[in-house]
Structure 1
Amino acid sequence: MIDKYVGRLVEIIYQDSKGLITQRIVTVRSIGGGYARVYDAGKRAFRTLTLDRILAVLPADGRRVS
């Protein structure tokens, strides 16, 4: 589902390994091997996210999330 957004800014809902659910705005850089490589705008850093833990993906509309 997220693979169609490579190169685009998206808003995701993500559950980390401890079960914490977060909302993030990221730019999807690449997808492969069960992982998404993204640039997390909120953390100002690249992240590698497990695809199975991405719960939802929507195109970002310019809103900031908290």
Structure 2
Amino acid sequence: MEKLIGEVVEIIYEDKAGKITQRRIKVHGHKAGLLRTTCFTTGGPRVFRVERILAWRRDKVSHAG
């Protein structure tokens, strides 16, 4: 996950209640299994548990040349 710091990625995330959501985030840091981000879905800072991320991919828009 360290290689994603500064990147915008899309994730599929399962919260503790079992709800699955798709989110677009910018990664700021990774420590102790937690991913510190800005979530574009909620418009603010957010922390995600790495083990609850079901899938991820780099955002295509953030790599447009």
Name the TM tier (shorter chain).
0.7 to 0.9
Deviation string 1:40-61 (CA, Å, 9 cap, x unpaired) is 0111110011110011110112
2:13 alignment partner AA = Y
Higher Rg of the two aligned structures: 2
Q: 1:18 maps to what in 2?
A: 17
CA RMSD of superposed structures (Å): 0.9
Instruction: Could you tell me which runs of 5 or more consecutive residues in structure 1 were left unpaired when the two chains were aligned.
Output: none
- Work out whether 1:33 is the aligned partner of 2:26: no
The runs of 4+ residues in structure 1 deviating greater than 6 Å are none
2:29 alignment partner AA = S
TM-score under structure 1 normalisation? 0.86
TM-score under structure 2 normalisation? 0.87
Instruction: Could you tell me which runs of 5 or more consecutive residues in structure 2 were left unpaired when the two chains were aligned.
Output: none
